[in-house]
Amino acid sequence: MEDMYRQMILDHARNGRNWGLLDSADFDHEEHNPLCGDRLHLTLKVEDDVIKEVGWDGDGCAISQASASMFGEQLVGMTLDEAMKLDKQVVLDNIGLDLTINRVKCATLPLKTLIIGTLGARKWEDIEDGE
């Protein structure tokens, strides 16, 4: 089972879906993981509140890049409201591995970028703390 996840993570990390920033995006925000320097730049096109297109780039470990790729796929078709209500468990489930405390921050970087870019840092702190 874990092997299957590993394969999937490596695939996403090497071949990031929706890679590349969008021109004239409705949402454009970049965040970092201060622990290891991972970077994620996320752009979205939103029409009638629905996320039509996702584009991102960044650098970092396999977990953070794979997480961004999988998260990006998920976002397409969601309303922005729905996206902003996502829990960190969603991205952790994408990765599917039992992550340690420092690696959780790698996996959650895409969600963090979306939340801080829309709702602000305090909201992200609350989500990260599970409160």
Q: Which residues pair with 46 in a beta bridge?
A: 51
- The reply on whether position 123 binds another protein by CB under 8 A is no
Q: Measured in Å, how far apart are the chain's first and last C-alpha atoms?
A: 31
Structure tokens given for 15: 């071949």
Distance in angstroms (rounded) separating the CA atoms of residues 91 and 98 = 12
Pairing mode of beta strands 39-47, 50-59: antiparallel
- The reply on whether position 10 binds another protein by CB under 8 A is no
Q: How far is the CB of 117 from another protein (least distance, A)?
A: 14
Q: Which of 17, 29, 32, 52 binds another protein (CB under 8 A)?
A: 32
Closest CA to 72 of 36, 37, 104, 25: 25
With H, G, I as helix, E, B as strand and everything else as coil, classify residue 120: coil
Q: Which is nearer to another protein, 37 or 77 (CB)?
A: 37
Q: Which of 14, 85, 122, 123 binds another protein (CB under 8 A)?
A: 122
- The reply on whether position 89 binds another protein by CB under 8 A is no
Q: Which of 4, 24, 98, 100 binds another protein (CB under 8 A)?
A: 100
How many C-beta neighbours within 10 Å does residue 62 have? 15
- The reply on whether position 36 binds another protein by CB under 8 A is yes
Residue positions counted in the chain: 131
Q: How far is the CB of 3 from another protein (least distance, A)?
A: 20
Q: Which of 34, 47, 98, 130 binds another protein (CB under 8 A)?
A: 34
Residues within the interface to another protein (CB under 8 A): 32, 34-37, 39, 100-103, 121-122, 124-125, 129, 131
